[in-house]
Chain A
Amino acid sequence: MTTVTIEVNGKAVTAEVTPRTHLADFLREQLLLTGTHVGCEHGVCGACTVEIDGEIARSCITFAVACDGATVRTIEGFDDDPLMARLRDAFSTSHALQCGYCTPGQLVAARDLIRRKSIEPDLDIRTEMSGNLCRCTGYAGIVAAIETVAAEQPAVPALARDRWAGPAPGPGAATAAPVKPAAPAAAPKVTAPRPAAPKPAAPKPAAPKPAAPSAPSRPVEVEVGPVTVEAGETRFTQTFVLEHPGDAVWALMRDPEQVAACMPGLALDPPGEDGRLTGRMEVKLGPIAAGFSGEGTMRRDDAARRMAIEGRGSDRRSGSRASGRVDYTLADTTADTGAAATRVDCVIAFTLQGPLAQFGRSDLVRDLVGRIGAAFATNVDVRLRAPDGATVAPAELGGASLLLGVLFGRIRRAVMRMLGRGS
């Protein structure tokens, strides 16, 4: 519990909140200000729109604890506001509401729009109000109501232009209590806010755990083919060339344990008798961390140097489920240096179900899977160049913890320079 003092509708309120309580729940459940409605609870629908220090905000994705020292105004706080009174009338006249669930948010957002933009000659109300969803009216009435009031060019309150440029309330706010760590860690003081001259990035510490590879890693360029999504399954191809002869590459890539060791985040259990593989895969996508426990099978064709691995697993924490297939074939080729090399053609397919899939950003997951593939290729290369017996620490994946992040970021840097011939 943390103590906060928030001015709500003109009255200072000091209360205990848990950090995870969002402002809408605080207003509704602790202050019984139920005019603020909770719709989607992830910032999409606008039903929970309130004012914080004069600016409208989503109270469902703003934590009450972060509003300590702020001034909050809910729909109940606009009872005596002339502009809001005018909007209420216009909403009635134009039939701008039916069930009323979105109406508090619509009114607060509409008043803010008029405050900021009623003098704009070509005010695009539909676009401006697109952050507030209504499932009854078809919006015509809402737009008409706002148009009517905007056309009257009402007097609008102004906010100071030189106010804090960050999210309200900012550093100047009088808070209930400073929220500080119990024992502030000693940290070097930053005196100058200006940056020093650019410096090369510090070398990344190698991942801890087993012996570090004695061969330095070099990035392997991975080509990603077109992506298709069919019946929920995302499929794409990856191709990379390893500067090692086919026999050596196959010796590694036919062995599931060695393959797993090169796969960032994958820990394989000791092999079972029936050829089934079980293990755990940790993946990190920005602030999202998931650990998929599962099992898989493999089919190997030594003559064709082809391997098909299938697996499925679930993340207990989020309840997400994933399944995937990787099918790879090795082919002999020649490196630019003329040395024997091996091309690895992979077909990757995966399906995701549960909250992670509902997040609805399959393109982000695809990028992540692509980066896992690139890190895998680099690890295979390192392992093949490491002397016998040397083990390579499995790389962690995810943002900065990606073992070869910086290096491989350079090479995959998708910049094409057009040469200025004779211009």
Chain B
Amino acid sequence: MKAAAFDYVRPASVAEACALLAEDADSKVMAGGQSLGPMLNLRLARPARLIDITRIPELGRVEESADAVTLGAVVTHAAIEDRRVADPTHGFLSRVARGIAYRAVRSRGTIGGSLAHADPAADWVSSLTALGAEVLITRADGTQRRLPVEDFIQGALASALEPGEILDGVRIPRFSAEARFGFEKICRKTGEFAEAMGVAVHDPARGVCRIVAGAAGGRPVVIEASRGAGARLLERFADAAAVHDMLTEAGLAGDAYRMRLHVAAVRRAVEEIRR
């Protein structure tokens, strides 16, 4: 199908984009448009106006600091896949990016757009939650705030973005050289929406050990060890029944088949870092 008619504006700065967004509640921000485009074509979404933010220079930024790397919202999956931007995870970001949809989608799909869209099956939603990344948000009045990804994602296609706010970047903490990462995605066909996703991150030097079960229809489920308890938490994933109980207790719901997929995905992710 063809999209319903909409107006199109292309602001040159975040402030201008916020002002445009604030003046019309029926406006929708578009970055790469790789999730919104299909919804527009299927006429599931019919905004009156699209605000194209891909020409805003600061949204393509890459900022490095001692403890983190900040990527602008419109940095594409392909740029991350090709390691054209700094990667504080020693290649894990690149690996996640490589598995997103298909190359022709990754070349336009963006990290910020993916988070703002808040599709539970999106790779960044689960993996950036596991990495403890934060989203940077600019408000309509020009002030800024930031929020952990896990708090930003509030449910299926629901984020903490308030009217007039724009997600302008993602701050990803630096991991030590000994950090280990596991990632497992279960889909019926390569590149399609995931049915289950497991992410495991263990960085003893930083005292971080987080396991995430994603693509469960709602917000990702996080299981986290307090400092020093990482290895012990990882051991508990050897037992599938125990993992099932942990995920259920953490709030994951689904029928028996879906629960098996989630258990398998997180166990494979953990297995990868225990090897």
Contacts and interface: CB of A to CB of B under 8 A. Distances in A.
A62 B233 CA distance: 44
Contact of B19 (A187, A356, A409): A187
Interface stretch (B29-37, B173-181, B264-272): B29-37
Interface in B121-158: 136, 138-147, 150-151, 154-158
Interface string A181-220: 1001111111001111011011010000000000000000
Contacts of B75: 165-166
A63 to B, nearest CB: 7
A193 B136 CA distance: 10
B144 A196 contact: yes
A345 interface: no
Contact of B224 (A66, A401, A416): A416
Interface in A50-83: 52, 55-58, 60-63, 65-66
B205 interface: no
B243 interface: no
Given A131-B105, A187-B15, A371 B142 contact: no
A204 B164 CA distance: 13
B189 interface: yes
Interface in B26-69: 28, 30-34, 36-47, 50, 52, 54-63
B217 A366 contact: yes
Contact of B31 (A52, A130, A167, A227): A167
A268 interface: no
Interface stretch (A259-267, A284-292, A295-303, A330-338): A284-292
A269 to B, nearest CB: 26
B229 A420 contact: yes
A161 interface: yes
A370 interface: yes
Contacts of B154: 399, 402, 405, 409
A364 B62 CA distance: 32
Contacts of B189: 130
B43 A367 contact: no
B91 interface: no
A16 to B, nearest CB: 13
A185 B79 CA distance: 33
B240 to A, nearest CB: 17
Contacts of B139: 202
Interface residues of A, number: 110
B250 A415 contact: yes
Contacts of B249: 416
Contact of B79 (A65, A112, A165, A421): A165
Interface in A315-332: 317-318
A325 B189 CA distance: 34
B108 A57 contact: yes
A225 B115 CA distance: 27
B197 to A, nearest CB: 12
Contacts of A389: none
A367 to B, nearest CB: 4
A375 to B, nearest CB: 11
12 contacts: A20-B3, A58-B108, A63-B50, A65-B52, A132-B102, A165-B79, A178-B12, A190-B142, A196-B145, A413-B219, A420-B225, A423-B229
> Which 8 residue pairs are nearest across A and B when measured between Cβ atoms?
A131-B102, A286-B157, A363-B217, A61-B37, A420-B229, A414-B251, A188-B142, A187-B19
Given A66-B8, A361-B156, A371-B158, 10 more contacts: A60-B37, A131-B105, A165-B75, A181-B11, A185-B16, A185-B23, A188-B15, A190-B13, A412-B219, A414-B250
Interface of A: 2, 18-20, 22, 25, 41-44, 46, 49, 52, 55-58, 60-63, 65-66, 109, 112-113, 116, 127-128, 130-132, 161-168, 170-171, 173, 178-181, 184-190, 193-196, 198-199, 201-202, 204, 224-229, 236, 285-289, 317-318, 355-356, 358-359, 361, 363-368, 370-371, 398-402, 405-406, 409-410, 412-421, 423
